[in-house]
Amino acid sequence: MIEKKTAWIPAAAGRQLALDISFPSGRAPEAGWPLLIFAHGFKGFKDWGHWNALAEAFAQAGYAFLKFNFSHNGLGPNLIDFEDLDAFGQNNYSKECFDFEAVLDFVQKSDWPIQKTAPVLIGHSRGGPIAALTALKRGAKALISWASVHELDYAWQDQAFLAHWKKEGRQFIRNGRTKQNMPLDYQLYEDFKAHEAAFRLGPKLADLSCPHLIVHGSQDPAVSLTSAHYLDEHSPKAELQIIEGADHVFGGRHPFAAGAELPPHSQKLLQLCLDFLAKL
């Protein structure tokens, strides 16, 4: 059986973020269940698709799995629909790093039956670098990258796009699932440039002292496999695992039926992570 708890906590720019944690019910080990903290990616959220099913699978394996929404990810009160697009447009990497640290601070004070020593940090897609930067700043037992981008300016190589973005102040990104045009305010780029030395991941990964598992699908249409190789080349304790045929979300879809079996590529992802965690 699995126990689940939820909470809202103070986050960036005076907003709050929602989080939940799944862990085995019953008597916990004396030190508490080992903690995994998961950060979603761009246009993502903690309850997307099969993230809940994966959280329960990790809990069944003896871990506490915490996932959270970044405070400016654009979700409305129901935590499923993108109803606050102004907040989405005002998101930036400084806010996401603040949010991740707020989660770390909260769990240290919680009365949950979890280990309070350095947790394992997991990031999917754009959440990958945020998890990595948090691990570098705050420490971690291990870092796990799921289909992670390699740098936070991964999408900003087109100078014409940047010039138009600056002129207009806002660009729109199409959400293929919801058919919404989601705003990106130019302040996102300004925030990155203002803190580029702190956000530039490649040079910093040399200082990552914890084990680092990198899992990527060979058929990822959103983030090239070259990003995984980049992380592997720069991270001194990296272990790269490529899942043949897997896409960006390892076979998951939204919505994902409660109680449904994990897709085969997500089962492989789960097993790779459990094998990695068993070695820590």
pTM higher than 0.95:
yes
> Between the CA of residue 108 and those of 7, 101, 111, what are the distances in Å?
14, 11, 8
Q: What is the pLDDT of residues 52-102, one digit of tens each?
A: 999 999 999 999 999 999 999 999 999 999 999 999 999 999 999 999 999
Q: What is the pLDDT of residues 218-239, one digit of tens each?
A: 999 999 999 999 999 999 999 9
Q: What is the mean pLDDT of residues 120-130?
A: 98
Q: What is the CATH number of the domain that holds 53?
A: 3.40.50.1820
212 in any annotated domain: yes
Residue 194: what pLDDT? 98
Residue 138: what pLDDT? 97
78 in any annotated domain: yes
Categorize the per-residue pLDDT at 50 as very low, low, confident or very high, splitting at 50, 70 and 90.
Answer: very high
Count Cβ atoms below 10 Å from residue 248 Cβ, excluding itself: 18
Residue 257: what pLDDT? 94
163 in any annotated domain: no
Distance CA 38, CA 17 (A): 14
165 in any annotated domain: no
Q: What is the pLDDT of residues 131-187, one digit of tens each?
A: 999 999 999 999 999 999 999 999 998 999 999 999 999 999 999 999 999 999 999
Q: What is the pLDDT of residues 228-270, one digit of tens each?
A: 999 999 999 999 999 999 999 999 999 999 899 999 999 999 9
Residue 261: what pLDDT? 97
185 in any annotated domain: no
Residue 198: what pLDDT? 97
What is the 8-class DSSP label of residue 9? Answer: E
Residue 166: what pLDDT? 97
Distance CA 68, CA 280 (A): 24
Which residue segment(s) compose the domain that 242 sits in?
2-155+202-278
195 in any annotated domain: no
69 in any annotated domain: yes
Residue 65: what pLDDT? 98
At a CB cut-off of 8 Å and minimum separation 6, what does 63 contact?
Answer: 23, 33, 34, 35, 36, 277
For residue 275, give both structure tokens.
Answer: 């094998």
Number of domains in the chain: 1
84 in any annotated domain: yes
Residue 33: what pLDDT? 98
